[in-house]
Amino acid sequence: MRTLLGSPITRGLCRLAVQNSKRVGEWSFRREYFSTSAVCFAGSKYRPSSCTNMAQKVPFVQFNNDLKFPIFGLGTWKSPPGEVTQAVKNAIDAGYRHIDCAHVYGNETEVGAALKEKIQEGVVKREDLYITSKLWNTFHRPDLIEPAIKTTLCNLGLEYLDLYLIHWPQAYKEDEGLFPEKDGKTVYSDVDYVDTWKGMEKLVKKCLTKSIGVSNFNHEQIDRVLAIAEIKPVTNQVECHPYLNQKKLIEYCKSKDIVITAYSPLGSPDRPWAKPGDPQLMDDPKLKEIAQKYGKTTAHILLRYNVQRGLITIPKSVTKSRIEQNIDIFDFELKNEDMECIDTFDCNGRFCHLNWIKDHKYYPFNIEY
Ligand SMILES: NC(=O)c1ccc[n+]([C@@H]2O[C@H](COP(=O)([O-])OP(=O)(O)OC[C@H]3O[C@@H](n4cnc5c(N)ncnc54)[C@H](OP(=O)(O)O)[C@@H]3O)[C@@H](O)[C@H]2O)c1
């Protein structure tokens, strides 16, 4: 099972980063990013709460299939295999019960080791945990879907997933690794995600996953899925933070009883294609000002902003102190005036744009939402 994991993926991501480093300058800002004088965070009054019973403080959202899911979880993209086991164990000890994984992250075996240890120690039971994974773009062809989830289950050491997502709407050429390339360009497959959805439904019927959903789908793509769906997607996992607040997509999904899961809530500063000089969400002076006012960190404000909008939120960290800090957002509330102020920061600031595959017929970000 390890053969699909590890260094080839990292190499693939790094290659993409290098290839596309010129293209990410397209991001435009509608607000003056550096206009406010910087507020030094050193004076923050933030003190962590006790982690005891933190798990009980995390609210659940209800999916359209009546299953519940914790509104807060741990992201694992870019968490190195050598660090992620400890990170997940620290997260479970700190009260996290929801872990966001994906085959393409190349670390599901190491995530699984942490789950196994914490279950064996008696800290949690399997049914206390909510584990998400995602079908990668090279496995969209209907005959590849069940083998793909079975690989993930084997790597994670689980008998079922709580949630399995189509990672992206666009498919890549099958059978040539996770990042098939020709002449430096990703090689596409024309599998329609609607056919992939029919395959995802079979996984629920076979009890390989409790719920299914999509990720990075625009509203037209969700409409196409809904038109043929026997089982509705419970969530659309998309990038969401103050620079890309997804107001219209959230409204649309809400009208269809689909919950939004917000990824990159801290602005994904460790994304492989980040360049020096790129905007840093956590350094935003206005967010720092708000954080100071509440005696919280900027990360707290960003995470609370999403959760307070009812969005499932999944920050990634491999740092014990940050893992503990990030979940500590259930003892305060942002005032309406501050929520409204943060709403105005939206500037279509997408960090995970994958704009090097813009010409794929199912690339999701060529329309407004
Ligand atoms: N469906 C998709 O296509 C998709 C795409 C992107 C992400 N995701 C999911 O969403 C998760 C989160 O998104 P992300 O990983 O892109 O980025 P993120 O959670 O916005 O940011 C992670 C980065 O922030 C740092 N960090 C975490 N907590 C911090 C704190 N309190 N103070 C300062 N820095 C902090 C982390 O550093 P350390 O780790 O060094 O502490 C890491 O560098 C992913 O891991 C993945 O599970 C899904």
Nearest CA to ligand 1 atom 33: 299
Question: How far is the C-alpha of 367 from the C-alpha of 369, rounded, in Å?
Answer: 6
Does 105 qualify as catalytic in the annotation?
A: yes
Q: Which CATH architecture has domain 2-364?
A: Alpha-Beta Barrel (3.20)
Contact yes or no for 6/106 (Cβ under 8 A): yes
CA of 200 to the centre of ligand 1 (A): 27
Ligand 1 atom at shortest distance from the alpha carbon of 317: 39
Question: How is residue 167 written in tokens?
Answer: 């990672």
CA of 74 to the centre of ligand 1 (A): 9
Domain boundaries of the chain, sorted by first residue: 2-364
Report field, pTM of the whole predicted structure over 0.75: yes
CA distances from 41 to 38, 150, 227 (A): 9, 46, 49
What is the distance, to the nearest Å, from the Cα of residue 106 to the centroid of all Cα atoms in its chain?
A: 15
Question: How is residue 303 written in tokens?
Answer: 């995470």
Nearest CA to ligand 1 atom 48: 263
| Residues in contact with ligand 1 (CB, 6 Å cut-off) | 75-78, 100, 167, 215-216, 237, 263-271, 282, 297, 299, 314-319, 322, 325-326, 352
The pLDDT tens digits along the chain (369 residues) read: 232 333 333 333 323 332 333 222 333 332 222 222 222 223 334 455 554 489 999 999 999 999 999 999 999 999 999 999 999 999 999 999 999 999 999 999 999 999 999 999 999 999 999 999 999 999 999 999 999 999 999 999 999 999 999 999 999 999 999 999 999 999 999 999 999 999 999 999 999 999 999 999 999 999 999 999 999 999 999 999 999 999 999 999 999 999 999 999 999 999 999 999 999 999 999 999 999 999 999 999 999 999 999 999 999 999 999 999 999 999 999 999 999 999 999 999 999 999 999 999 999 999 999
Q: Which DSSP state fits 244?
A: B
Contact yes or no for 266/281 (Cβ under 8 A): yes
Query: 316: which strand partners?
Result: 75
Sign of CA dihedral 260, 265, 271, 277: positive
Catalytic site residue from 96, 105, 188, 362: 105
Question: How far is the C-alpha of 182 from the C-alpha of 177, rounded, in Å?
Answer: 12
* H-helix or E-strand spanning residue 45: none
φ, ψ (nearest 5 deg) of residue 166:
-75, 115
